[in-house]
A and B are shown apart, each in its own frame.
Chain A
Amino acid sequence: MPEILQLDFMRMAFAAGAIVGVLAPAVGFFVVQRRMSLIGDGLGHTAFAGVAVGTLLGISPVATALVATVGGAVGIEWLRSRHRAAGDQALALLFYTGLAAGVVIASAAGSFDAGLFAFLFGAILTVTGEDLVLMAVLAAASLAVVGLLYRAFAAVVLDEEGAKAAGLPVASLNIVIAGLVGVTVGVSMRIVGVLLIAALMVLPVVAASRVARSLRGTLLLSMAIGVASAAVGLTVAYYANLAAGGTIVLVSAAVATLAVLSRGLR
């Protein structure tokens, strides 16, 4: 067995990376297709506020971040669908409120420390067995929802108005997608951090859509790129002694850049 896999924390990290590598693009796929790529970023900031609340109250920051992100995701979808705010304005509201609330609450809790930075920038090497079980359960449930509702989600993505006319419950489906984004951000924040979480939801999808020749192919390829980015990024980070979360995202960004450039050259 290679040295890197003889270490418990690295095996945990690879397992966590694989989970997030599959889940983030699978959910991000529907967000990117709806041209709402930055929603993950906005929810990352909301997650930061959730973490700060957890720290203040002395309860699991992951749980409070999950509540904050799912609530934020559903809220943004509500604002968008009721035309109370344009999509980008709703995102901006979420973005800045989340970040400002996180800073204020964290300072009130006196918790500007390494623990908080682990959520901001990721701490995949500190993932525990308990974290892994929670991540696996939430990811499996989310992927099951994606599998079950794939055709309906795709119909909304292809033509939201046509889906409405056909009688699909478009508003409910959009809320489910938003909820899945919230769960994904909550599950993934320990891996790459709330500041980079959107990257894993978006970049593998951008890369796959330049290479694949069908919607389903794009989804499956983006999940493969997500897992590969996590594995390569972790390996490089381990041997080069770099920050794991950032390295994973840089690998993913390199793949996306290559895909975009190669498409341009064809």
Chain B
Amino acid sequence: MPLAVELRGVAFAYDGGPPVLAGVDLAVEEGEFVAIAGPNGGGKTTLLRVAIGLERPTLGTALLFGEPAHRLARGRRLGYLAQRSRLATDAPVTVREVVSAGRLASGRLLGPLRGPDRVLVRDAIAEVGLAELADRPLAELSGGQQQRAFIAKALAGEPRLLVLDEPTAGVDADAQEALAALLARLHSERGVTVLYVSHEFGAVEDIVRRLVLVRGGIVFDGPPEDLPGAWHDPSHVHA
């Protein structure tokens, strides 16, 4: 079985800029739950973007389920929650419409949603506890509820790989716990592979078996309990 995520000798720099990542090797097997931490500007988000093909490495290889990551294709069933997810439009958009867009990751591209797709959308909304608010405009929801709608969008595509970039930023403690419970369920019941970038892992510390620290490259990769004491606050890690 191919690895879910494989980075081999990856280096990356934005156009003409200094290197953001260098010498990155990372192998994530299907079904793993990997927490990724590091200081601001350390390259966590860039690492994620290279891993899922939104950026091509300057050097090295990025594979997703054994295929070149930059070959973005439907059907690879990737759920992606970007940092500070927000809608790119000011128009009113309901929770159901946001989540329906997630169905395109694995469902039909043309025509309206069919019955089975609508059921998956409804289930994804219910899974994040927004069933009562499904037809409300997103703008009327709290920050935590909006974040849950974006997570439901990622779930609606029946993801094999869920990539979450700081999913709890600006979200209250209850919503963080609800998210952790949801991720634990997805991970254990459906075997979904999770890459979870954050500064703070309190909510998911019971699920995390592997921690990757990023600071221009990978400076630690192993069980959280093996982390050197001086690094216990990952946001202040120094190589």
Contacts and interface: CB of A to CB of B under 8 A. Distances in A.
A217 B92 contact: yes
Interface stretch (A6-14, A165-173, A182-190): A165-173
Interface string A130-155: 00000000000000000111111011
Given A148-B111, A158-B98, A159-B101, A218 B92 contact: yes
B147 interface: no
Given A151-B104, A151-B112, A215 B93 contact: yes
A214 B87 CA distance: 13
A225 to B, nearest CB: 14
A212 interface: yes
Contacts of A88: none
Nearest to B109: A152
A164 B49 CA distance: 11
Most-contacted residue by chain A among B76, B85, B91, B163 (CB, 10 A)? B91
A235 interface: no
Contact of B80 (A33, A154, A166): A166
Interface string B36-74: 000000000000000011100000000000000000111
A158 B105 contact: no
Contacts of A152: 104, 109-110
Contact of A148 (B54, B80, B92, B110): B110
A34 interface: yes
Given A148-B110, A209-B92, A165 B78 contact: yes
B92 A167 contact: no
Contact of B54 (A34, A149, A164, A168): A164
Contacts of B98: 158
A157 interface: yes
Contacts, number: 101
B78 A167 contact: yes
A151 B92 contact: no
A213 interface: yes
Interface in A190-222: 209, 212-218
A148 B72 CA distance: 22
Given A151-B112, A165-B78, A167-B74, A209 B91 contact: yes
A214 B94 contact: yes
Interface in B72-126: 72-76, 78, 80, 82, 85, 87-94, 97-98, 100-105, 109-113
Contact of A214 (B76, B82, B135): B135
A79 to B, nearest CB: 16
Given A214-B135, A215-B94, A218-B92, A167 B105 contact: yes
Most-contacted residue by chain A among B72, B90, B98 (CB, 10 A)? B72
B85 A159 contact: yes
A208 B92 CA distance: 10
B101 A154 contact: yes
A159 B83 CA distance: 12
A165 B53 contact: yes
A215 B92 contact: yes
B105 A166 contact: yes
B128 to A, nearest CB: 16
Given A165-B78, A166-B78, A151 B91 contact: no
A186 B181 CA distance: 54
B65 to A, nearest CB: 12
Contacts of B90: 209
B88 A213 contact: no
Most-contacted residue by chain A among B88, B102, B111 (CB, 10 A)? B88
B137 A167 contact: no
Contacts of B94: 213-215
A183 to B, nearest CB: 19
Contact of B93 (A148, A149, A158, A161): A158
Interface of B: 52-54, 72-76, 78, 80, 82, 85, 87-94, 97-98, 100-105, 109-113, 135, 137, 153, 157, 163
Given A33-B89, A165-B72, A166-B78, 16 more contacts: A33-B91, A148-B110, A149-B110, A150-B112, A151-B104, A151-B112, A160-B88, A161-B54, A162-B85, A162-B153, A166-B74, A166-B157, A167-B74, A167-B78, A168-B104, A214-B94
Smallest CB-CB A-B distances: 6 pairs: A167-B74, A166-B105, A155-B101, A165-B80, A33-B89, A209-B91
